[in-house]
Structure 1
Amino acid sequence: MTANNVKNELTKPHPDWLLPEFGPGVAAEGFMTTRAGGVSQAPHASMNIGSGVDDEPAAVAENRRRVAQASGVTPVYVWQVHGAKVLHLQPEHALPGARPVQADASISTSPELAVAIQAADCLPVLFAAPGGVGGAHAGWRGLAAGVLEHTVQALCEAAGCRPEQVQAWLGACIGPQAFEVGAEVLAAFGRADAPVDSEFFRYQPNTQGEPRWRADLPGLARQRLRAAGLIHIRGGHWCTHSESSRFFSFRREAQGGRMVAVLRLR
């Protein structure tokens, strides 16, 4: 069955999708997709929203339509490049045919524009604050470059709030038991002089005896968010690499598909 002959009856997030948890003080709603609920065929089965993985364009378009219908507004995708730029969403970014702006985070102060962050091992982080929402694509490069801190700062300025009023939710990403990295990653986080275990990096040489570490991406994110002044931080308990039946994983299958984390003001 292709996207062209599927009648979409989806009006709310699929039961398998992840739902962000936020406490009192914010009015936001969203979700993170999993592999379930779409029309793409293997190896992109079934809810692939990535347009650059050799999937059928009609299937990607249908999947994105289902994401939009589940969010109730227009999700605005950005062109993610593992950087730290933050885009403040405006109506022109949601116009039909508008080209995605290069950025790795976005914020919205309009109930009609939802942030949309793609991921398939990198950590998507959603932010909810009084008067605004945000989303960030936090792989190790973006995380080390300060994408989370920049997002918090931009959201606070746009929504007129303080960091302690911002709540963060960490989506699914590659977990610390699977995220193998080299010395260059430790150096990016100022841990270059740690030859063995250190906070968020567990020393584990590969089968050739070369030095490698298992990195805790959610742990690094929580540390930076707390340093930025956030108090309420939830999520980050799912491993995309280990749960192959539920999540896409770039390290497991580079062309397998992409998921998206979406958040809007309610």
Structure 2
Amino acid sequence: MSATDHGLVPDWPAPARVRALQTTRRGGVSLAPYDGFNLGDHVGDDPQAVAANRAALAVALPATPLWLTQVHGTAVLDAGVPQRDATADASVAHGPGAVCVIMTADCLPVLLCNDKGTVVGGAHAGWRGLCAGVLEATVAAMQVPGETLMAWLGPTIGRDAFEVGAEVRDAFIAHDANAVSAFRPGSIDSKYWADIELLARQRLAAVGVSRVYGGGLCTVSDGERWYSYRRDRTTGRMASLIWLQD
């Protein structure tokens, strides 16, 4: 990924009119433990600091993003339509002038676009939403065949840091027996190390999205660049953004 003043630009073969940005924690005005470019207004940070960080980000964007109230569900909103209630875990945009944004601090952000550059989307894929079908719902809302889409996986908790209970493994395997390959025995009995990127790739492949880029950016192990809730508990949020250029 190449760097900008506001974060990193995903390295993927998206059409020229598709623009995407992944923020880091570098820069910004938030103080510890949110230092520095925290964009989450729901984590206890000074509201003025968050507003200043969002204002700095806005300089790089064509419109105000649709900031979602994420609840680990599967609802998808249209970022190009005014929303009275922005409770959702994904958004799509079918034209310029709308910015999809996902906030994370361990959960997996997934950005999507089609080959023609006519639709983009972003999804918040924590394990609950991923298991419930948020990626499938996002692809459906994009209203194009999955085979015409490509995806980019942003920073998330890595496979060597994400230990879950047997109930998480069982829930994924109940949906798809192939999910067993994304889990390995954990540090104690009844615990498993989970590969959330592999689980996302499996879910995307099931709806025709086989071209998946990015990955390998562990939030837990890289505290200089990324916020991590599992590592720090009280912490900020990064943003993964995508939009269509006019």
Instruction: Give the TM-score taking structure 2 as reference length.
Output: 0.91
Identity %: 45
- Pick aligned residue for 1:50 from 40, 54, 75: 40
Say if 2:12 and 2:214, in contact at 8 Å, map to a contact too.
no
Which residue matches 2:127? Answer: 140
Q: C-alpha distance in 2, partners of 1:100/1:244?
A: 33
Return 5+ residue gaps in structure 1 as ranges: 1-11, 94-98
**Contact 2:33 2:235 survives alignment (8 Å):** yes
Match of 2:182 in 1: 200
Question: How far apart are residue 24 of structure 1 and its match?
Answer: 5.2
Aligned-partner Cα distance in 1 for 2:38–2:161: 22
Q: 1:152 to 1:91 in 2, by over 3 A?
A: closer
2:11 & 2:157 partners in 1: Cα distance?
A: 20
* SS in structure 2 of the partner of residue 189 of structure 1: helix
Shift of 1:79: 0.7
Larger radius of gyration: 1
Partner of 1:149: 136
CA shift, 1:256, in A, is 1.0
CA contact (8 A) 1:175 1:241 kept: yes
Query: Per-residue deviation at 1:72?
Result: 3.1
CA contact (8 A) 1:48 1:60 kept: yes
CA-CA distance at 1:126 after TM superposition: 0.5
**After the TM superposition, which residues 1-266 of structure 1 pair with which residues of structure 2 at under 5 Å, given as runs?**
13-14=4-5, 17-23=7-13, 25=15, 27-93=17-83, 101-129=86-114, 130-155=117-142, 157=143, 161-190=144-173, 198-206=180-188, 210-266=189-245
TM norm structure 1: 0.84
CA distance in 1, matches of 2:43, 2:199: 28
Gap change, CA 1:25 and 1:53, over 3 Å in 2: closer
What's the offset of the Cα at 1:23? Answer: 1.6
